[in-house]
Amino acid sequence: MSEVINNQTKRREALKRVIRQLHEGKSVDEVKAEFASLLEGVGAVEIAALEQGLIAEGMPEMEIKRLCDVHVAAFKDALDTQERPESLPGHPVYTFRAENAAAAQVLEALEAAIQAGQWEQARAELERLREYDRHYLRKEYLLFPFLEKHAFSGPSAVMWAIHDDVRAGWKNLAELLTSAPDAAQVAEVFGPLATAIREMFYKEENILFPAALQMLSSDEWASIHVQEPEFGVCYVEASEPQAAAPQPAAPPAVTAGLIPLQTGALTPQQIALMLTHLPVDVTFVDENDAVQFFSATKERIFPRSPAIIGRSVQKCHPPASVHRVQRILDDFREGRRDEAEFWIQMGGKFIHIRYFAVRDEQGAYKGTVEVSQDVTAIRALQGERRLLDD
């Protein structure tokens, strides 16, 4: 057994040397010639583990991103011969693959329109192509979190960075196509963009999906499947699970001391800290019009004290405004409205006040949330800020 482990360790280190040599400037053909026998039979999971290992040893993720296409090229012969795991309609991988096939056709249509100078058609095809962002979002917010639980994080971070490059390319291309496009400029942006999208197709089909199918359990795939509607799919119909496809998993066990919530679990202290650090004042009134909670933020807009807990909300307002409060509560209770909002000037500040009806799964009224916020600075914002100030 120790000999097998030693051989596996030696193989892994040798494959790492292959990648390091690529980063040092050797060509794909040079490393293929030197490591031909070693490169045979390299699989998706092994490549992902190599990149993860190099990141753990200190190689920056963006350095992996810079040459990840070269890594794939070095291992392409082995990847092209590997057996692709089967997936059924309803399985997330089946949907991912169907979207890739459809997106490839949209990309070809966009390419044809650009080459023919048919700018109106190109704009329409680009809009269709940008729907593919749902595919990237499901990878980022559904698939990647599950893979990270299996110590697969470096490769997914690299892919996410490439997604952002593609999104930037879509935006740039859309700006160039707005009016009187310059064919040379359009081609200059479209070429790298199309290459990045197509190379990501290959990485998904030959590395990401095979690795994920090996790593994740049927319960994990089921959890991904039931969360897909949050982001939606593109080009294809979302398939219902069939026999042998993943079924919804049981909710995870909650650690002692945590309060189970709809999307996670927190300690009472974490809930209190979260509410007191929000840049808004929150007050909750139950279905009987009794004040049950208010957030003790550092600088409240309207004064509150623990003495109001359990008090009728009508008695917490000046007599002159009680009729407005009562109307909101009556409308919420009778289902005539779900929210109400006001804004006022107070002490040189612009205050936004909103009320939201709280209802259970059956639609029964369970109370009202009041949210107040000083939006003076927000109203003054202009342009964009995409970078953090030093």
Mean pLDDT of 337-353: 93
Q: Structure tokens of 112?
A: 């044809």
Query: Which residues are 259's β-sheet partners?
Result: 266
Please name the residues in contact with 186: beta carbons below 8 A apart, sequence gap of 6 or more: 114, 122, 173, 176, 177
Place of tokens 């980022």: 140
Q: Mapping DSSP to helix (H, G, I), strand (E, B) and coil, where does residue 30 land?
A: helix
The predicted structure's pLDDT at residue 263: 80
Query: What pLDDT, on a 0 to 100 scale, did the predictor assign at position 158?
Result: 81
pLDDT, mean over the chain: 81
Write the DSSP assignment of 322-340 as a string of letters.
HHHHHHHHHHHHHTS-SEE
Instruction: State whether CATH 1.10.287.610 applies to domain 92-230.
Output: no
Contact 276, 298 (CB under 8 A): yes
The residue ranges of DSSP E strands in 80-177, in sequence order, are none
Beta-carbon neighbour count of residue 353 at 10 Å?
16
Flag whether pLDDT at 36 surpasses 90. Answer: no
Cα torsion through 102, 233, 86, 199, rounded to 10: 50
Ramachandran region of residue 249, left (φ > 0), alpha (ψ -120 to 50) or beta? beta
Between 36-45, 57-66, 97-106, the lowest mean confidence (pLDDT) is in: 36-45
| 247-258 residues labelled b (16+ CB within 10 A) or e (exposed) | eebeeeeeeeee
Q: Coil, strand, or helix at residue 169? A: helix
- Protein fold of 259-379: Beta-Lactamase (3.30.450)
- pLDDT score, position 67: 43
Distance of alpha carbon 16 from the chain centroid = 30
pLDDT average, residue stretch 14-34: 63
CATH 3.30.450.20 residue ranges for the chain = 259-379
Q: Which residue has the higher pLDDT, 254 or 155?
A: 155
Distance CA 84, CA 208 (A): 11
pLDDT at site 291: 92
Residue with more model confidence, 285 or 302: 285
Residue corresponding to tokens 């919804």? 248
Helical H runs in 24-91? 28-34, 36-39, 44-56, 61-81
Report the distance separating Cα 144 and Cα 268, nearest Å.
29
Q: What angle do CA 357, 312, 282 make, to 5 degrees?
A: 45
Q: Is 236 strand, coil or helix? A: coil
Does residue 8 have a pLDDT over 80?
A: no
The residue among 88, 43, 42 whose CA lies nearest residue 215 is: 43
* Confidence band for 134, pLDDT divided at 50, 70 and 90: very high
pLDDT, position 285: 96
Position 68: which residue type?
C
Give tens-digit pLDDT for 232-289: 999 998 765 443 444 444 455 556 789 988 888 999 999 999 999 999 999 999 999 9
Q: Report which listed range, 9-13, 222-226, 252-256, 368-372, is most confident.
A: 368-372
* pLDDT mean over 160-177: 94
Q: State phi, psi for 357 to the nearest 5 degrees.
A: -70, 135
Interval 65-99: pLDDT, tens: 554 554 455 556 555 655 555 567 889 999 999 99
Find tokens 């039979």 and name the residue.
41
Q: Name the segment(s) of the chain with CATH classification 1.20.120.520.
A: 92-230
**What average pLDDT does this structure show over 101-127?**
96
123 pLDDT band, cuts 50/70/90, is very high
Positions of E strands within the chain: 259-261, 264-266, 281-286, 291-294, 339-346, 349-359, 365-374
